[in-house]
Structure 1
Amino acid sequence: MQPAFAAIAHATTSDAPVLITGPTGIGKSLAARVIHLHSRRHAGPFVTLSCASLPENLLESEVFGHEKGAFTGALATKAGHIERAAGGTLFLDEIGELSPALQVKLLRFVEEKVFSRVGGREDLKVDLRIIAATNQDLAQAAAEKRFREDLLYRLRVLEVHLPPLRERLSDIPGLCSYLLASVAGDRKLAVSEEALSVLLRHDWPGNVRELRNVIEHAAAVCTGPLILPTHLPRDVVSSLRGRPPASSAGWMPRSTSGLRPGFVKG
Structure 2
Amino acid sequence: MIVIPDDNGLSLHAVESGAKAGPVAVFAHALGSDLTMWDAVVAKLPQNLRLIRMDMRGHGKSPCPDGPYAMGDLVGDAARCLDRLGVKDCVFVGLSIGGIIAQGLAAERLDLVRGLVIANTAAKIGTPSIWADRIKAVREGGIEAVVEANMQRWFSRATQRNHPDVVDAARARLRSTPLAGYLGCMEAIADTDLYESTARLRLPTLAIAGSEDGSTPADLVRETAGLIPGAQFQLIRGTGHLPPVEKPDEFARHLTDFLARIGHV
TM-score between the two structures when normalised by the length of structure 2: 0.28
Which has the greater radius of gyration? 1
